[in-house]
Amino acid sequence: MFEAVGLVGMMLIEWFVVFVANIVPAMMPPTWAILSFFYITYPQNIIILVILGVTASTTGRFALAKLSGYVTERFASSKKRHEFEAINQKLRGKPIEKFIFTFIYALSPLPSNALFIAFGATKTRMREVLGGFFAGRVISYLFLVFTTQKIFSSFESTILGSASTLTIAIEIVGVVIVIAFFFVDWNKIIAFGTAESKQLEHKWPSKKR
């Protein structure tokens, strides 16, 4: 399907598609699904694909945060801007907490558009947020893309009548893992991670700037 464009051209297409999907604030497919599509239709090194995708995703979310900050500054009411500034003051000086919270959030399948819109509106410093997001998404996307491809190939083998016992077992285990992944109560896990980060912040308080 994509053979004519070559590897470099394919990587550019993948980066651009993921970037656009992440800069648009709503109604876009999840990045892991886009990467899974490319991995299945154009087999390539999964690590390079995921790092490429996460780089594009992180860049797109950063741009979304900046755009939301611009829109908030121009169109939000004075009262709302004061609320956002108060939130920003609370988030300052807590790099460990921001990193851990965003890292755990990025491990989940939860969409991150609202998160980055909120960070942009409150003008939160993005360095720790982007670092946590990048690290978490690399892990979760590797898992999701790999598992999706295995499930797809197992289903394909089953349909073509060439499935072995091992293939069927992989198919069943893969489906169970994906279902479990999506039905985990990530809100509790994120809340736990935030509590842990507060304990770390208490042990090693950030230096006042």
So where are the chain's domains?
3-203
CA dist., res. 69 & res. 123, Å (int): 6
Residue 81: its pLDDT value, please? 64
Residue 71: its pLDDT value, please? 76
| Spatial contact of 53 and 35, defined as CB atoms under 8 Å apart | yes
Give the residues of the chain that fall short of pLDDT 70: 1-5, 75-77, 79-93, 153-209
Residue 7: its pLDDT value, please? 81
Q: Which residues contact 140 (CB under 8 A, 6 or more apart)?
A: 32, 106, 107, 108, 109
Residue 134: its pLDDT value, please? 96
Residue 157: its pLDDT value, please? 47
CA dist., res. 129 & res. 125, Å (int): 8
Q: Which residues contact 25 (CB under 8 A, 6 or more apart)?
A: 64, 68, 113, 117
Q: Note the Cα 209 to chain centre separation in Å.
A: 30
CA dist., res. 113 & res. 65, Å (int): 9
Amino acid at position 122, single letter: T
| Cα torsion 33, 165, 183, 135: sign | negative
Residue 38: its pLDDT value, please? 92
Query: Residue 178's closest CA among 149, 156, 205, 158?
Result: 149
CA dist., res. 144 & res. 113, Å (int): 19
Residue 35: its pLDDT value, please? 93
Is pTM, for the whole model, over 0.95?
no
- According to DSSP H, which parts of 92-164 are helical? 95-107, 113-121, 127-160
**What is the b/e burial string over 8-37, where b = at least 16 CB atoms within 10 angstroms of the residue's CB?**
eebbeebbebbbebbbeeeebebbbebbbb
